[in-house]
Amino acid sequence: MSRIFSNGPNKDYVINPFSHMISDSSQLHLAAPYFTQAEPILEAAKSGKSVQLLIGLNEATSPQALRKIHEVSGVAIRYLTSRFHAKIYIFDKAALLGSANLTDGGLRANREAVITLDREEDAEALEEVRALFVELWDAGQVLTREKLDTFEKTFNGLRRKTPDAEKEIETALGQAQPHNINVASHEKSSERVFLETLRQEVYEQYRPAFSEVTGILEEHGFRRPDLADVGIENETNRFLNYVRLTHVIGDEAWQTAPLRVIDDRRREIKHYAQEWVDAADNKVPEDYAAWLRTVKRTFGTREAIEAANKNGIMEGLMSLHAFTEQLRFVKGGLKNLPAEFWKVNNDDLDRLKSTLAYLLHGEGDFIQRFHDVLYDPSKKLKRFGYFCALELYGTIKPDECPPMNGRMAKALRFLGFDVKGA
């Protein structure tokens, strides 16, 4: 059987082995500088395959194609802006290497030179290719909604006769390059490392996992009438809370749970969702809906935050599970938590309101603000950590970030998702 494909007169189209290998795989690792063909990726994700897609943001990559697959469950997208020319397509037991981009020309029309690595004697080369992909993937940056908006705006405004469209795009987005021994300026700052780690956790782990669970609850009607008014994101939150409290007993339960492919995860989720719907005790506090209303009333707008007094702010924070979880670190437990919180934050109401308004309603990238609230000494609050910020933000803006807390994370890991559990 031929292992060289070129889109030549013999109709040896690259799309043929590409499609065949997708159908035989559960995980796809794809790297291409130019990207215009969303359909194969979209179909792969719809059929339950996991996709890591590394693309170049340049004048040959289509923002419209990226829109079709952006934030689709099962698809993680990272990007580079320059010094990226590798075309690597890795599947479960094979790979394609060559000149073809993920474009119509690369897959069907242009004369290309692509070789398949799918034979027993290719095993060592295949592992080297996997290592190369990991190196490039680690150098990439997460394609967030804000980054895609910026790219599309810049792309649409490009002066087509400009001598350096690549530089124009890179100026708008910031530089993202793979490591190169001839380039001495690629040491990542600690802030950039933290930022990319947070982006990966929120956009490549928690949000797609949470969305997958939500989709299953909606698709199969696993809904509780007593939660009809809280919104599907918060209903998903309560389902995961039930899983954590009922089945994830002790840290070993989630730490040792196996990672599962999508079909196995779906079976697990449907099993526990049916149990949750039928349960007499669904682990939802009677005042849960009132807690949500308090959070949204207190923090829903910048004006509401600015108008709130100490009691109002504390009532809102005490409505967050991640905040009240800190009672185990406070002598005297929950009743002493408010006093301890104000004490360690110097009783500074104005600084507290400034930080929360910045996190929830500030300008620009949410992840940058999330980072600042966690690590910037001028904004960081004591007794208000990672999951406090995530749960608060997700409760106010669930379309951008799910209402995550530690219980949710551990439940997702227990169900088989590859997420940070705590």
Q: What is the mean pLDDT of residues 348-355?
A: 96
Above 50 in pLDDT, residue 9? Answer: yes
Which two tokens mark 302? 């910048």
pLDDT of residue 282: 87
- Grouping H, G, I as helix, E, B as strand and the rest as coil, residue 82 is coil
**Residue 327 backbone dihedrals phi, psi, to 5 degrees:** -55, -25
The answer to whether 389 and 360 have CB atoms below 8 angstroms apart is: no
The DSSP element (H or E) to which 194 belongs, if any, is helix 190-199
Strand pairing report for 114-117 and 27-32: unpaired
Alpha-carbon distances, residue 340 vs 316, 317, 336, 347 (angstroms): 16, 13, 6, 10
Give the max Cα distance, the chain: 79
Cα 228 versus chain centre, distance: 27
Average of per-residue pLDDT values in the chain: 90
Tell which residue, 254, 258, 234, 207, has the closest CA to residue 74.
207
Q: What percent of the chain has pLDDT over 70?
A: 96
Check residue 231 and give left, alpha or beta (phi > 0: left; psi -120 to 50: alpha): left
What is the per-residue burial (b if ≥16 Cβ within 10 Å, else e) of 85-110?
ebbbbbbeebbbbbebbbbebbbbee
pLDDT of residue 162: 59
Cα 246 versus chain centre, distance: 27
pLDDT of residue 182: 46
Strand pairing report for 27-32 and 50-56: parallel
pLDDT of residue 159: 58
- Amino acid found at 244: R
The answer to whether 387 and 406 have CB atoms below 8 angstroms apart is: yes
Report the 10 Å Cβ neighbour count for 128.
10
Report the 10 Å Cβ neighbour count for 54.
25
CA-CA distance, 292 to 296, in Å (whole number)?
Answer: 6
Tell which residue, 84, 30, 75, has the closest CA to residue 57.
84
Burial of 129 (0-12, 13-18, 19+ CB in 10 A): buried
The domain segmentation of the chain, as residue ranges, is: 4-187, 188-422
Span 70-108, pLDDT tens digits: 988 889 999 999 889 999 999 999 999 999 999 999 999
pLDDT of residue 85: 94
Q: Sign of the CA dihedral 70, 75, 78, 82?
A: negative
pLDDT of residue 188: 55
Above 60 in pLDDT, residue 187? Answer: no
- Amino acid found at 183: V
| pTM reported for the whole predicted model | 0.78
Q: What is the mean pLDDT of residues 130-134?
A: 91
Q: Which CATH superfamily is domain 4-187 in?
A: Endonuclease Chain A (3.30.870.10)
- Grouping H, G, I as helix, E, B as strand and the rest as coil, residue 96 is strand
Tell which residue, 11, 18, 156, 147, has the closest CA to residue 79.
147
